[in-house]
A and B are shown apart, each in its own frame.
Chain A
Amino acid sequence: MTENDTFAIIGVFASSRAMVETARQLRGLGLRTIEAYTPYPVEQLAETLRLRRGGPLAWTMAAGALVGASCGYFIQYWDEWLNYPLNVGGRPHNSWPAFTVGAFEITLLFAVAAGFFGLWFACGLPRLYDPRLDSEAFDRASADRFVLRVEARTRQVARESIRQVFEAHGAERIEEAAA
């Protein structure tokens, strides 16, 4: 075992409060790769783990909106002016007030689709199986338990000190796993 080896420790808690406190203390030790699995959104967890609001997903959706606006406008412009110019009620071929509505709808469609599939991607969704979840510690993470998974390098911190932090906050179960 060299000192660059990474290892993972999983702790299961009965209360969200204990989990948030543990996460806070682990961050204090300088650990950055902390994952939390909870049955419902826990307040202050995002703050504690420094999860960014928005982040890449927000930009993905903004890009989707921009592409959607351009496509939505262009298809109307192309059809009405370039492809098949037709005089409708004496309105100009490039009727931007009328095109705005359709362009807006397509903007929403693209933005929401970008968000939907972006979230899939962010969750690693096409992959249905993750060996990390083999552990029985996760069994109740979607029901009534709060699970923390910490990754660290051997040279960074001793396994024992992470274990102690877990124990100090009353972890019901502590498991080691391969990272």
Chain B
Amino acid sequence: MSGDWNWRSLNLGALAAFAVGSVGCGLGATVDLDGFSRAWLCAYLFWLGLPLCGVTLVLVHDLTGGNWMASARPALNAAIATMPLAALAGIPAFVRLHALYHWVDPGRQLDNAFYLNSAAFYLRYAIDVALWCLIAAFALWTPRGAATPIAPARSWISAIGLIALALSASFASIDWILSLEPAFWSSIFPMIVAAGWFNAGLALVVLAMAAAGVERRHMADLAAILLGTTIFWAYVEFMQFLIIWEENLKTEIQWYLPRFAGIWLPTAFVGLALGFVVPFFVFVTTAGKHSRAAVAAVCAAILASRVADQWWLVLPEFSPGGPFWLDVAAMLALGGLMLLLFFAGLRARWSAAATATLARRHG
């Protein structure tokens, strides 16, 4: 099924994105170093979704099963294999914490300084990276069949892995995004960010699967999962907004004020339309879930929504912001690298799967 893909031009495209993005980042960093840190944080948060979605879905499948995994396993494993790069890609942003977070400033007497300080931040980051790479290794290298989950005797590890994943992703989302506004607190926030990561990763995986022409009913199953998680994302995102907007409290509304000012208000609506409305009305129909073109188009829309939403979460915090081309450049630079790795993994795993199928048929 991977035979239709022109790997050479895909790799060249990813390489070009990386090259153009890197030049842009280099230029941007000399012009506006703080702007580069912020742009890179957005790119990091967006691309991290790919391996996080991969491990989540594989571990969930360990507990639930499902035939769709027969088609999804190669693509999900390729996504998981990007974990070391994706997890460590935060370093260029985090080396200059004071460009990102107000709480680094020692002049601010915060009640939660025992949690929000540079040393604790780096420690948590290191734990996240180590834990996620460990879970990725478990998801990738412990024996599983194409569609069969891990052996039942070991499925408890998957359960614990999921709990660890949920907790670490919560801490990460609070550290990296919520703490941009150090006095703001929202208990639903980690779920918003985690759902965003999952949707971004799954949209990319399903886009690859739809373009490669995997079995239709498996693709439809994954589209149904994506339908559920986009609804979940819209629900938690809207609930947080609704409560804060109704209460209009000084400690909370300051999260939304910059995010609904100027260009950021239309950005929020674009994110909602492409990340929820379009996927909902296409995936809710049986025909929409089964059409490769429709699924690919909706996944592309979700990815666009995720990029917009990532920028919307981080960038309004800084005014005046850096140049927009720098944000795009960072997205492309890290994206090119991530896609090169993802494509290499897809190619190897799809050709291995095709060989195994041939061997079964003729052997």
Contacts and interface: CB of A to CB of B under 8 A. Distances in A.
The interface size bin for chain B is under 10
B312 to A, nearest CB: 17
Contact of A90 (B242, B248, B286): B248
B216 to A, nearest CB: 16
B241 interface: yes
A97 B245 contact: yes
A99 to B, nearest CB: 10
Interface string A82-107: 00000001110000011011000000
A127 interface: no
A53 B246 CA distance: 42
Contacts of A100: 238, 242
B139 to A, nearest CB: 34
A22 to B, nearest CB: 28
Contacts of A90: 248
Main secondary structure of the interface of B (DSSP, over half): helix
Contacts of A53: 286
A48 B152 CA distance: 38
Nearest to A89: B248
A101 B241 CA distance: 12
The interface size bin for chain A is under 10
A114 to B, nearest CB: 16
B242 A97 contact: yes
B277 to A, nearest CB: 13
Interface in B244-298: 245-248, 286
A25 B242 CA distance: 58
Interface in B222-245: 238, 241-242, 245
B101 to A, nearest CB: 29
B246 A98 contact: yes
Contacts of B286: 53
Nearest to A101: B242
A91 B247 CA distance: 9
A53 B285 CA distance: 11
A24 to B, nearest CB: 22
A97 B241 CA distance: 9
18 contacts: A53-B286, A89-B246, A89-B247, A89-B248, A90-B248, A91-B245, A91-B246, A91-B248, A97-B238, A97-B241, A97-B242, A97-B245, A97-B246, A98-B242, A98-B246, A100-B238, A100-B242, A101-B242
Interface of B: 238, 241-242, 245-248, 286
Nearest 9 interchain pairs by C-beta: A97-B242, A97-B245, A89-B248, A98-B246, A90-B248, A98-B242, A53-B286, A89-B246, A97-B241
Given A53-B286, A97-B238, 5 more contacts: A89-B247, A91-B245, A91-B246, A97-B241, A97-B242
